[in-house]
Amino acid sequence: MTSETQTDSPHLERISGTFLTTKDGTQLYFKDWGPKDGQPVVFSHGWALTSDAFEDQMLFLSEHGYRTIAHDRRGHGRSSQPWDGHDMDTYADDLSELTSALALRKAVHVGHSLGGGEVARYIGRHGTSRVAKVVLIGAVLPILIKTDWHPNGLPMQVFDDLRAGVRGDRSSFFKELSLAFYGFNRPGARVSEGLLESYRLQGVMGSLKAEYDCIKAFSETDFRADLARFDVPTLVMHGDDDQLVPIDGSARITATLVKGAKLQVFPGFSHGMCSVNKDVVNEALLAFLEE
């Protein structure tokens, strides 16, 4: 386990345009929006997606004076596609390298789905010396798979089916999965074909190897020890109609494992609440940031 050392000088030699080169040579694409003197809000996206998944939140918060930053996880989007390193420890260390290289301080970390696990492991490995607050949205915490100690988790078959879908016909699989992601398979749902296509396109941008390996990382990683290290204000946000990360096996438990955490449940919201219900999510984020 490591801890970060504060610095006021960004490591500009490791940054070229919108890319950071990590210590192992991986190039991470990142966005850095809003005023550079604003409080930083760092976003960690979900499985198979990219930083584009948070563009609605980034635009909104940047317009309210915050500096918003999001990266494409290694193997995802516009970042490099290394063969190895698709595990929670490496994801957390990549996030640490980015925050250090940009010399971020008093940052608010927002993690959605797998990104929530990334934020938790980041704190577990690197502490909160650079962190002011945390927001976990539809996060895969404390563990996603069913275990003896976590009976409300999902069975292994769910993740075996994900692996089979990714290996079989990835593009068609993402197109089908996007319906449940956004809750568009519910009666009366107002379907956005644009959102469905955006989800599929983000998915096929990534490395097949990375997305396949990542399934094990986000489903089988135990985050209980990481959550025990949280010592900053934490907001746990979750839709109670999340079909991918059911709330009873995730947010309701996570909120009890993080000291002082606030649980905010959104009736009827899906796993894709940051897009489908972006106005509500944006206002909730802003209210928490300004507390």
Arithmetic mean of pLDDT, 210-237: 98
> Which residue ranges form the domains of the chain, and what is each CATH number?
12-289 (3.40.50.1820)
Catalytic residue among 242, 250, 270, 275: 242
Judge whether 80 and 27 are in contact, CB under 8 Å: yes
Predicted local confidence at residue 37, as pLDDT: 97
Of the residues 71, 109, 112, 271, only one is catalytic, namely 271
> Is position 271 annotated as part of the catalytic site?
yes
**How confident is the model at residue 1, as a pLDDT?**
43
Confirm whether 231 is a catalytic residue.
Answer: no
At 14, the amino acid letter reads R
Segment 112-133, tens digit of pLDDT: 999 999 999 999 999 999 999 9
Q: What percent of the chain has pLDDT over 70?
A: 96
Q: pLDDT tens digits for 248-281?
A: 999 999 999 999 999 999 999 999 999 999 999 9
Closest to 55 in 3D by CA, of 69, 66, 65 = 69
Local structure of 113: helix, strand or coil:
coil
pLDDT tens sequence across 104-117: 999 999 999 999 99
Active site residue 242: yes
Mean pLDDT, residues 173-183 taken together: 98
Catalytic-role residue among 113, 207, 219, 275: 113
pTM, two decimal places? 0.95
